[in-house]
Amino acid sequence: MKKTFTILIMSLLFISFRSYSQSTVQGRVMDADSGQPLIGATAMLEGTSKGATTDTNGTFAIQGVEDGTYSLTISYVGYSDFTQKVTVDGADVRLGELSMAEAIFAFDQVVVSGTRQAEKVTETPATIEIISSKDLEELPSFNPGELLARVKGVDFIRAGVVGTGINIRGFNSNFNAKNLQVNDGRFATLIATGLPMGPLTTQIKEDVERVEVILGPNAALYGPNAHNGLVHTITKDPRTSQGTTIAVGAGNQSMFTARMRHAQVLSDKFSFKVTGEYTRAEEFEFTDSVYIDRKDAAGNMGADGVKEGYEEYMLDNDLEFLRAEAALYYSVSNTSDLIFSWGGSNSTYLSPTNVGRNQIKDWRMNQFHLRYTSDKFFAQVYHTKSKTDDTYAIDQRTKNYYAAIDGGATEAEARESSLGNGATFADDSKRWNAEVQYHDKFGDLGVVIGSQWQRDHANSNGTYLLDNNGEDPIIISQVGVYGQLDYQFTPEFKATAAFRGDNHEVYGFNFIPKSGLVYAKNNNAFRFTYGKGIAAPTILNMYGDLFAGLILGNAEGFTLNDGTKVEKQKVEQIQTFEVGYKGELVPKRFFVDANAYYNISRDFLSPVTIVGVATERGDTPMEEVQSGYSVFGGLVATYVNFGKVNTYGFDIGTNLYLSDRINWTFNYSYFDYTYDEDDLENNDFNNDGEVNKLDVLVNAPKNKFGTGVYYRGNKFFSNIYIRWVQEYDYFSSYQIAAKTQDLSWRGTPVVENARSTDAWNYGPLGGFVNVDFGLGYRVNNVFTVSGQVTNLFNAEYREFTAAPFTGRLFSIELKANLPAIGN
């Protein structure tokens, strides 16, 4: 009996020990094609809170695992999830090498921009579109921005050979700073104007891993100006993309491009990459007339008594871009990295603005970026520098030239004076940014908390800012604190809540919340999201000084001669309510992503408007601020807040996979708006006693769609994409594109194909069908040859004001991918 009892106790102890024994599950995650380790992949045991991140060798180790059978899921951005059953039975489990393949199907994608954490695209509480590395590889162009034309919900603008831009959900302008551009977590915006860098970027196409586009506000996590949307470009890690890529391309409009990228692992600790690009081209022939009131010898307006248009003076159609980047990666430990990068560019091109075109001449950008990343911490500091001496406004230079000629100046004298009176734009600005973030998971609760700091140092050398000819640069600081909580109530149901508190030296404190609910099961997800966004006044809005002080920034408010106060400008605000569905209607074949939204917008940042004759700007008398006070007598134009408008719409995108090699896409977007016509106090921006569309300036098409077919074989790849944009009217400061109607813009009736005070009205934008076609062939493992035709049928249309009619563009490209030394 005693012996039996002893055996029973020993058995129970053994069973208890086995039940509570803890083991380690480990493996190494590799790219299925290249065999390179995948660094930063997330391995999780479903049904538990246990997981790990792969180190610099692609290895993960999940410790403290109790006995049982689990489903191991490994996720990595841009790759299909890897899932495998794992049984733990009192001993460590070594899984060996596990291969992950790049995601083919849209629902397999993992993204990071929605919540700043890696998650499946079907489970993120935002509408996110992805431009993948495959999309980029199969685009034989130096300009990856072209692919934004194929993103649902995006108003894509093609403005000539290199000019591409986007707007999301209305209220576009020729000076749009409401869509934030981020590169590797770094704000990629100009310092004084807040505009996206666009063609001034330092990145090349071959170094882009993917682009994530968020539709709608995401300011809670990214800060001011993630107002209408966010474009986040993420570059390649040299440790997972070793080798050398050389690309050479040519096309019409005298286009030539040469690009190079090299990445190499030097040791277990060090790796690096370098990139470079030289591109040149010639802009489409287009001379946007400049209208000048000139009198002939008899005192009549124009040679025939009519106000005439003159060709842009000193127009240069040559485009040229130099770009380079370098990055050094240091592995501090198996789960943390220190990354230092530099990027520089020198750009010359034509840029459309709301007062005509700017001749961008040798505009130089430099950025220095230091990042620390680990499984729980992220920190970065970066410095951005912007420099140009010779950029000028063509419209104003033309007016200055003819004014000098009329005043009796010689040709040489007129040419010299043409660069005065607001025509020249110099820039010698700098910006410092810093950020620290902590993120972790506690059971079913995920936590992100962080802080950002920015210090702008804007200097125009007296050409367009109130910086005392560069002696007193404008220095402004702001700081933001953000946080986010994710809670997984059940395996299917997740809630997200985020917030941000921002404090700016000029426009003060703003609180920005965001929340979302997601129900996801079997690759299908439903979500509801609420978000707030703000668009902050730029330094130009706050401290601009143009045309001898006729246009002044509104950082301090104005007092008019009748005692009326013009309040200083504050942030524009938007609140968005959005519902969405993402998922498979047919498993592994038919994917749908649809959303519907309702926006409440108020306090718009206005275009320049004349507010009257001012006696003071803030507490400073106007004669001390306005350099042209003897001419203008305090008459001032500035930026104000106005308006309450509700907008609404929906976007739907589909991907039908006819096979693993062929897929068909279709995108459709609808957008509309309402406003209170009786609310003269808020909505009568032009003070004409009535509220109409010229007060609201939505500037967006009501309907648009795109559809394309893609073939991706082992050797051949091809695609054809068709885009239709409904005709719509567009107004932005001097610029107008509208059909004839019983309205007046800037004092002139709106008449199609006629002059409109300061510009020519060619008629509405949109109203076109565009077809793009691409074809490529992989000759072998090294060489690929491909070609692209944009606007295949050479349809004559114009997508933007102060921009040329974009004709057919074609290019061919030869690319060589050389393996890393020793591979």
Mean pLDDT of all residues belonging to the chain: 88
- How many whole angstroms separate alpha carbon 127 and alpha carbon 580? 8
| pLDDT, mean of residues 724-731 | 96
Residues 692, 805, single domain; the answer is yes
- The whole-number pLDDT of residue 117 equals 64
> Is 402 in a helix, a strand, or coil?
helix
- The whole-number pLDDT of residue 143 equals 87
Domain-ending residue, one of 69, 102, 135:
102
Name the pLDDT band for 14 (thresholds 50, 70, 90): very low
Weakest mean pLDDT among 16-20, 96-100, 368-372, 604-608: 16-20
pLDDT at 185 over 50: yes
| pLDDT, mean of residues 24-51 | 81
Residue 748 placed within a domain: no
pLDDT at 768 over 50: yes
- The whole-number pLDDT of residue 287 equals 78
In sequence order, the 6+-apart residues with CB closer than 8 A to the CB of 375 are: 53, 335, 336
pLDDT at 543 over 80: yes
- How many whole angstroms separate alpha carbon 444 and alpha carbon 466? 52
> Is 74 in a helix, a strand, or coil?
strand
Residue 756 placed within a domain: no
| pLDDT, mean of residues 20-45 | 80
CATH number of the domain residue 59 falls in: 2.60.40.10
Residue-wise pLDDT tens digits, 468-523: 999 999 999 999 999 999 999 998 999 999 999 999 999 999 999 999 999 998 88
Place of tokens 């403005």: 159
Q: How many CB atoms are located within 10 Å of the residue 96 CB?
A: 7
| pLDDT, mean of residues 758-776 | 94
Pairing of the two strands 93-100 and 754-756: unpaired
Place of tokens 């609140």: 575
| pLDDT, mean of residues 125-151 | 87
Residue 755 placed within a domain: no
Please state the φ and ψ torsions of residue 413, each to the nearest 5 degrees: -65, -40
- How many whole angstroms separate alpha carbon 263 and alpha carbon 434? 27
Residue 742 placed within a domain: no
Residues 144, 75, single domain; the answer is no
Tokens (6 digits) for 202: 């330092």
- The whole-number pLDDT of residue 303 equals 47
pLDDT at 12 over 50: no
- The whole-number pLDDT of residue 176 equals 83
| pLDDT, mean of residues 422-443 | 93
- The whole-number pLDDT of residue 133 equals 83
pLDDT at 218 over 70: yes
- The whole-number pLDDT of residue 106 equals 55
Pair 404, 414: CB distance under 8 Å: yes
Residue 747 placed within a domain: no
Domain-ending residue, one of 102, 120, 153:
102
> Is 239 in a helix, a strand, or coil?
helix
Pair 731, 350: CB distance under 8 Å: no
Pair 736, 750: CB distance under 8 Å: yes
Residue-wise pLDDT tens digits, 660-691: 899 999 999 999 999 988 888 888 887 778 88
- How many whole angstroms separate alpha carbon 558 and alpha carbon 618? 6
Residues 145, 63, single domain; the answer is no
Name the pLDDT band for 111 (thresholds 50, 70, 90): low
Residues 591, 713, single domain; the answer is yes
Pair 774, 139: CB distance under 8 Å: yes
Weakest mean pLDDT among 308-312, 388-392, 454-458: 308-312
Q: Three-state SS string across 774-804, please?
A: EEEEECCCCEEEEEEEECCCCCCCCCCCCCC
- The whole-number pLDDT of residue 794 equals 92
Residues 61, 145, single domain; the answer is no
- The whole-number pLDDT of residue 427 equals 96
**CA-to-CA dists, residue 545 to 99, 548, 612, 638, angstroms:** 59, 7, 16, 10
CATH number of the domain residue 294 falls in: 2.40.170.20
Residues 464, 324, single domain; the answer is yes
Residues 91, 200, single domain; the answer is no
Q: 757 burial class (0-12, 13-18, 19+ CB within 10 angstroms)?
A: middle
pLDDT at 813 over 90: yes
How long a stretch of residues is the chain? 823
Residue 166 placed within a domain: yes
pLDDT at 46 over 90: no
Pair 371, 433: CB distance under 8 Å: no
Tokens (6 digits) for 535: 């668009």
- The whole-number pLDDT of residue 297 equals 52
- The whole-number pLDDT of residue 567 equals 93
Looking at the structure of the chain, the number of domains it has is 2
Compute the Cα dihedral for 750, 755, 759, 764 and give only its sign.
positive
- The whole-number pLDDT of residue 9 equals 47
- How many whole angstroms separate alpha carbon 236 and alpha carbon 341? 12
Domain range for 635: 110-728+765-818
| pLDDT, mean of residues 244-257 | 96
Residues 244, 136, single domain; the answer is yes
- The whole-number pLDDT of residue 360 equals 96
Residues 54, 114, single domain; the answer is no
- The whole-number pLDDT of residue 91 equals 87
* Cα–chain center distance at 70: 40
Ranges assigned E (strand) in 639-734: 641-657, 662-675, 703-712, 716-725, 730-732
